[in-house]
Chains A and B, each alone.
Chain A
Amino acid sequence: DAGVIQSPRHEVTEMGQEVTLRCKPISGHDYLFWYRQTMMRGLELLIYFNNNVPIDDSGMPEDRFSAKMPNASFSTLKIQPSEPRDSAVYFCASSLNWGTQYFGPGTRLLVL
Protein backbone atom coordinates (compact mmCIF):
# COMPACT_ATOMS: atom_id res chain seq x y z
CA ASP A 1 0.00 0.00 0.00
CA ALA A 2 1.49 3.32 -1.03
CA GLY A 3 2.21 5.84 1.68
CA VAL A 4 1.86 9.58 1.46
CA ILE A 5 3.43 10.83 -1.74
CA GLN A 6 4.99 14.26 -2.06
CA SER A 7 6.51 16.01 -5.00
CA PRO A 8 8.94 17.38 -5.73
CA ARG A 9 11.38 15.91 -3.23
CA HIS A 10 13.75 18.83 -3.69
CA GLU A 11 13.10 22.32 -4.98
CA VAL A 12 15.57 25.11 -5.49
CA THR A 13 14.17 28.42 -6.61
CA GLU A 14 14.95 32.09 -6.60
CA MET A 15 13.36 34.67 -4.39
CA GLY A 16 10.14 35.98 -5.84
CA GLN A 17 9.26 32.83 -7.74
CA GLU A 18 6.11 30.82 -7.17
CA VAL A 19 6.56 27.42 -5.57
CA THR A 20 3.95 24.65 -5.59
CA LEU A 21 4.30 21.59 -3.42
CA ARG A 22 2.09 18.58 -4.02
CA CYS A 23 0.76 15.82 -1.84
CA LYS A 24 -1.21 12.64 -2.37
CA PRO A 25 -2.52 11.26 0.92
CA ILE A 26 -3.04 7.62 1.76
CA SER A 27 -6.19 6.39 0.10
CA GLY A 28 -9.16 6.48 2.45
CA HIS A 29 -7.64 8.94 4.89
CA ASP A 30 -9.90 11.85 5.70
CA TYR A 31 -7.41 14.21 7.32
CA LEU A 32 -4.50 15.91 5.59
CA PHE A 33 -1.89 18.07 7.28
CA TRP A 34 0.85 20.37 6.00
CA TYR A 35 3.87 20.96 8.25
CA ARG A 36 7.05 22.97 7.95
CA GLN A 37 10.26 21.95 9.70
CA THR A 38 13.26 24.19 10.33
CA MET A 39 16.15 23.98 12.75
CA MET A 40 15.08 27.19 14.44
CA ARG A 41 11.35 26.57 14.80
CA GLY A 42 11.08 22.80 14.75
CA LEU A 43 7.95 21.20 13.32
CA GLU A 44 5.12 23.65 12.70
CA LEU A 45 1.60 22.81 11.62
CA LEU A 46 0.61 25.10 8.78
CA ILE A 47 -2.88 23.94 7.87
CA TYR A 48 -5.03 20.86 7.96
CA PHE A 49 -8.04 19.58 6.06
CA ASN A 50 -10.85 17.23 6.95
CA ASN A 51 -12.75 15.71 4.05
CA ASN A 52 -11.10 18.24 1.72
CA VAL A 53 -12.27 21.21 3.80
CA PRO A 54 -9.68 23.45 5.48
CA ILE A 55 -10.27 23.28 9.22
CA ASP A 56 -7.48 25.35 10.72
CA ASP A 57 -5.07 27.54 8.78
CA SER A 58 -3.88 29.58 11.74
CA GLY A 59 -0.37 28.24 11.24
CA MET A 60 -0.01 29.64 7.75
CA PRO A 61 2.69 32.28 8.16
CA GLU A 62 1.24 34.93 5.88
CA ASP A 63 -0.80 35.58 2.80
CA ARG A 64 2.00 34.40 0.56
CA PHE A 65 1.07 30.86 1.59
CA SER A 66 -2.05 29.13 0.34
CA ALA A 67 -3.24 25.54 0.35
CA LYS A 68 -5.95 23.71 -1.51
CA MET A 69 -7.43 20.26 -1.52
CA PRO A 70 -9.61 19.94 -4.63
CA ASN A 71 -10.32 16.26 -3.99
CA ALA A 72 -9.61 13.48 -1.54
CA SER A 73 -6.44 12.37 -3.27
CA PHE A 74 -4.61 15.62 -3.91
CA SER A 75 -3.48 18.74 -2.11
CA THR A 76 -1.18 21.63 -2.93
CA LEU A 77 0.73 24.14 -0.87
CA LYS A 78 1.68 27.24 -2.79
CA ILE A 79 4.10 30.01 -1.86
CA GLN A 80 3.89 33.15 -3.96
CA PRO A 81 6.20 35.00 -3.94
CA SER A 82 8.81 32.87 -2.22
CA GLU A 83 11.43 34.33 0.12
CA PRO A 84 14.71 32.91 1.49
CA ARG A 85 13.15 32.52 4.94
CA ASP A 86 10.71 30.02 3.45
CA SER A 87 13.57 27.56 3.03
CA ALA A 88 12.60 24.48 5.02
CA VAL A 89 11.40 20.92 4.74
CA TYR A 90 7.67 20.75 4.07
CA PHE A 91 5.86 17.63 5.14
CA CYS A 92 2.45 16.41 4.21
CA ALA A 93 0.76 13.88 6.49
CA SER A 94 -2.57 12.09 6.46
CA SER A 95 -4.66 10.17 8.93
CA LEU A 96 -7.88 8.28 9.20
CA ASN A 97 -10.15 10.05 11.62
CA TRP A 98 -8.08 10.83 14.68
CA GLY A 99 -5.66 8.00 14.28
CA THR A 100 -1.98 7.95 13.57
CA GLN A 101 -0.61 10.56 11.20
CA TYR A 102 1.55 9.11 8.45
CA PHE A 103 4.07 11.45 6.93
CA GLY A 104 5.29 11.80 3.40
CA PRO A 105 9.02 11.95 2.65
CA GLY A 106 8.98 15.75 2.65
CA THR A 107 9.98 18.41 0.15
CA ARG A 108 13.25 20.19 0.81
CA LEU A 109 12.80 23.76 -0.37
CA LEU A 110 15.68 26.15 -0.83
CA VAL A 111 14.89 29.72 -1.82
CA LEU A 112 17.94 31.63 -2.97
Chain B
Amino acid sequence: AQKITQTQPGMFVQEKEAVTLDCTYDTSDQSYGLFWYKQPSSGEMIFLIYQGSYDEQNATEGRYSLNFQKARKSANLVISASQLGDSAMYFCAMRVRGTGNQFYFGTGTSLTVIP
Protein backbone atom coordinates (compact mmCIF):
# COMPACT_ATOMS: atom_id res chain seq x y z
CA ALA B 1 0.00 0.00 0.00
CA GLN B 2 1.14 3.51 -0.75
CA LYS B 3 1.37 5.87 2.16
CA ILE B 4 2.53 9.35 3.11
CA THR B 5 3.25 10.20 6.75
CA GLN B 6 3.62 13.64 8.24
CA THR B 7 4.28 13.27 11.95
CA GLN B 8 4.32 16.94 12.93
CA PRO B 9 0.77 18.26 13.26
CA GLY B 10 2.04 21.70 14.25
CA MET B 11 5.33 23.57 14.04
CA PHE B 12 6.53 27.00 15.15
CA VAL B 13 9.47 28.91 13.75
CA GLN B 14 10.92 32.33 14.38
CA GLU B 15 10.82 34.73 11.50
CA LYS B 16 14.00 34.59 9.37
CA GLU B 17 14.93 31.17 10.74
CA ALA B 18 14.94 27.95 8.70
CA VAL B 19 12.46 25.16 9.36
CA THR B 20 12.19 21.55 8.25
CA LEU B 21 8.86 19.83 7.75
CA ASP B 22 9.06 16.06 7.82
CA CYS B 23 7.58 13.65 5.32
CA THR B 24 8.12 9.93 4.95
CA TYR B 25 6.64 7.77 2.27
CA ASP B 26 6.09 4.13 1.61
CA THR B 27 5.94 2.53 -1.80
CA SER B 28 7.39 -0.51 -3.45
CA ASP B 29 7.31 1.17 -6.83
CA GLN B 30 10.58 2.48 -8.26
CA SER B 31 9.01 5.29 -10.24
CA TYR B 32 7.29 7.96 -8.22
CA GLY B 33 7.15 11.69 -7.64
CA LEU B 34 7.06 13.64 -4.41
CA PHE B 35 5.33 16.99 -4.05
CA TRP B 36 4.80 19.66 -1.45
CA TYR B 37 1.79 21.93 -1.36
CA LYS B 38 1.02 24.96 0.78
CA GLN B 39 -2.48 25.77 1.94
CA PRO B 40 -2.80 29.21 3.55
CA SER B 41 -5.82 30.19 5.61
CA SER B 42 -7.51 31.43 2.44
CA GLY B 43 -7.84 27.79 1.42
CA GLU B 44 -6.18 27.42 -1.95
CA MET B 45 -3.68 24.62 -2.55
CA ILE B 46 -0.44 26.00 -3.90
CA PHE B 47 2.18 23.76 -5.49
CA LEU B 48 5.64 24.42 -4.07
CA ILE B 49 8.16 21.84 -5.20
CA TYR B 50 8.60 18.49 -6.91
CA GLN B 51 11.16 15.68 -6.65
CA GLY B 52 11.27 12.69 -8.97
CA SER B 53 12.42 9.35 -7.66
CA TYR B 54 15.20 9.21 -10.22
CA ASP B 55 16.41 12.75 -9.63
CA GLU B 56 19.88 12.65 -8.13
CA GLN B 57 19.92 16.19 -6.86
CA ASN B 58 17.60 17.68 -4.29
CA ALA B 59 14.99 19.98 -5.77
CA THR B 60 15.09 23.67 -4.95
CA GLU B 61 12.65 26.47 -5.66
CA GLY B 62 13.66 29.78 -4.20
CA ARG B 63 13.49 29.50 -0.41
CA TYR B 64 12.11 25.97 -0.64
CA SER B 65 14.25 22.89 -0.92
CA LEU B 66 13.40 19.23 -0.69
CA ASN B 67 15.77 17.05 1.31
CA PHE B 68 15.33 13.76 -0.53
CA GLN B 69 16.76 10.69 1.18
CA LYS B 70 15.70 7.75 -0.92
CA ALA B 71 17.10 5.01 1.30
CA ARG B 72 15.22 6.43 4.28
CA LYS B 73 12.15 7.13 2.16
CA SER B 74 11.98 10.68 3.37
CA ALA B 75 11.24 13.90 1.50
CA ASN B 76 11.48 16.72 3.99
CA LEU B 77 10.68 20.29 3.02
CA VAL B 78 13.14 22.93 4.14
CA ILE B 79 12.04 26.54 4.19
CA SER B 80 14.87 28.99 4.60
CA ALA B 81 14.54 32.50 6.00
CA SER B 82 10.93 32.03 7.15
CA GLN B 83 8.49 34.84 6.52
CA LEU B 84 5.19 35.62 8.19
CA GLY B 85 3.47 34.69 4.95
CA ASP B 86 4.79 31.16 5.26
CA SER B 87 2.28 30.47 8.03
CA ALA B 88 0.04 27.82 6.50
CA MET B 89 -0.71 24.11 6.29
CA TYR B 90 1.82 22.13 4.31
CA PHE B 91 0.98 18.86 2.61
CA CYS B 92 3.36 16.26 1.32
CA ALA B 93 2.09 14.12 -1.55
CA MET B 94 3.28 11.21 -3.64
CA ARG B 95 2.34 10.10 -7.09
CA VAL B 96 3.13 6.52 -8.04
CA ARG B 97 3.25 5.59 -11.69
CA GLY B 98 2.24 2.00 -11.10
CA THR B 99 -1.05 2.94 -9.45
CA GLY B 100 -2.61 4.78 -12.34
CA ASN B 101 -1.02 8.07 -11.40
CA GLN B 102 -3.07 8.52 -8.29
CA PHE B 103 -1.91 11.04 -5.70
CA TYR B 104 -1.50 10.17 -2.02
CA PHE B 105 -1.57 13.05 0.45
CA GLY B 106 -0.28 13.29 3.98
CA THR B 107 -2.35 14.75 6.81
CA GLY B 108 -0.46 18.02 6.74
CA THR B 109 1.67 20.11 9.09
CA SER B 110 0.52 23.47 10.36
CA LEU B 111 3.39 25.96 10.35
CA THR B 112 3.23 29.19 12.34
CA VAL B 113 5.91 31.81 11.83
CA ILE B 114 6.46 33.96 14.91
CA PRO B 115 7.55 37.57 14.45
Contacts and interface: CB of A to CB of B under 8 A. Distances in A.
Contacts of B47: 100-103
A93 B91 CA distance: 15
A14 interface: no
B100 A33 contact: no
Nearest to B31: A98
A95 B93 CA distance: 14
Interface residues of A, number: 23
B101 interface: yes
A101 B48 CA distance: 11
Nearest to B105: A43
B43 A101 contact: no
B33 A98 contact: yes
Interface of A: 31, 33, 42-43, 45, 48, 50, 55-56, 89, 91, 93, 95, 97-103, 105-106, 108
